[in-house]
Structure 1
Amino acid sequence: MLETRIHTALFFSCFYLIGEVSGTYPKAQDVRWSSFNFKTLLQWSPEPTNYSYTVEFSVVGENRERNPHCIRSNKTECDLTSMLTDLKATYSADVISEPLPGQSSDLPEYPHTRSDKFCPYKDTDIGRPEFSIEVNKEKDSITLYIKDPPSAIYKDGKQLNMRDIFMNDLKYRVTYRRAESTGKKTADTDSNQITLKVDKGKSYCFNVQAYTPTRSPEKQLGELSMTKCSQAGDRPFYEEYGIGAIAGAILIIIVAIVVVITVTVVCCKRRGRAGNRGKEGMPLNSV
């Protein structure tokens, strides 16, 4: 009986060890592309335990390649930025579950999960641009000078920007409003500057974002810039700051004056009382 149990235990131990080596590895889940300013990552889950991941990718319909940094790795992302050399091509990728480095398996094919198709030119998210504001001498027009966002792509040692890549496909959309208003207007420009007619002497606030109308609707607009406002010129004091702000400032001044007067009166009364007490305590002069 004891011998039978030992044999059974040895059988299952051997079966377990064979399973560890030959492996039935979990498939990668939630395989997705993440791309910002052409820095492109392939990401997935879960974290591996007793196995590793290898990434293979290719232009759709062509031979598959491997990134040397993403072979039998314990990471759950692979940076493919420098490998996707044709930015207008459409790519697909496989995340393969494999044995750990140094281990082998007798599986005829390892489990793998295929990504959706991805085109850097069409699918990367574009970051916020920087811009500066210039008000003309007459205070009736404002010019915006827009700087192209940089990309993660280098060519001949030079870092390319969005204009280098998109060229004439890149436009900019400007959203603007009067500083004291909530109503917004938009204007598009094909170049890196735009001049807008405004109400003379008024302050205006602006946001800018890249606009690529050749891409799908959900990818046409890039990240919205930080808000910048122009200075107002030759505006009356009450219009510059607003009636509410001026009334608040006047109220604060009045309260401060009342407090100062009250404290001064109280202090004077206390000194007067202290002086009277001192006189009452003094001896009468002899006649």
Structure 2
Amino acid sequence: MENIIVFGASGQLGQCLEKAAWQKKITSVVFPSKKEANILDNEALARLFQQYKPAFAINCAAYTAVDKAEDDAELARKINKTGVQNLALQCKAHGATLVHVSTDFVFEGNNPLPLGEDAATNPTSIYGLTKLEGEQDIIAILPKHYILRTSWLYSEYGNNFVKTMLKLGSERDELKIIADQVGTPTYAIDLANAILDIISSGKENYGVYHYSNEGVTSWYDFAKGIFDVAGTNVKLYPIRTAEYPTKATRPAFSVMDKAKFKKTFGLEVPYWRDSLITCIKALEINTINKP
């Protein structure tokens, strides 16, 4: 396989890509440090592209603090729009294909039907808006791109809902969890495998794709699933979004249709609860193996 550079290598998805590449015995993937691969530093980017001459760049770098972005729009836009624009321009100059990870937050989420790639975008948060702007810049600059929108990402790495729930479950007897936001959790290892499978397919079906695990659930039911699988006894109470106000508005319904991805690449998508079991087992093994 030709050279691949991963941007945002130290983040959750970047670490999952490193694990997935190791499992698939792909040795041509480079995971540079944040300083080496700063998407806001054009000179550093140019050096990196000249050094490795990648056929593919995978962009996992993003400003993802959804509520904080409401007060920090300038930095969110720099990373999610300007940085992405920089990457797209470097890919164009060096003939590389860009695989960019986006989000369900580009949708308003007010229609209870699975969202196709052509569904109208209408972000209700700065995070969602800046991620959409990044998508638009890629499309305008670089024909050779894959944009993968995903949702509710979690894994054994980084900070995420699964790890937060497990921590809170060990500290508290009861929790209140939002039950009127519906979507699909995505195991970041599954997304990492999907990205590498797209690259190794050799297909050039560029464009926007949706990828999350299969199935539909609420945050409340996701939490219930986490505690059931982990064997943690916590009393859960479902609440409405209005009872837990946040600075940024979340999509109420962001279930994405994966038909285009499955048909184009001939790949199966795991069911969310099956992947959750895999993740929690991995977390338990990691805990046992800690010195």
Structure with the higher helix share, 1 or 2: 2
Tell me the TM-score normalised to structure 2 length: 0.21
Tell me the TM-score normalised to structure 1 length: 0.21
Structure with the higher strand share, 1 or 2: 1
Larger Rg, first or second structure (1 or 2): 1
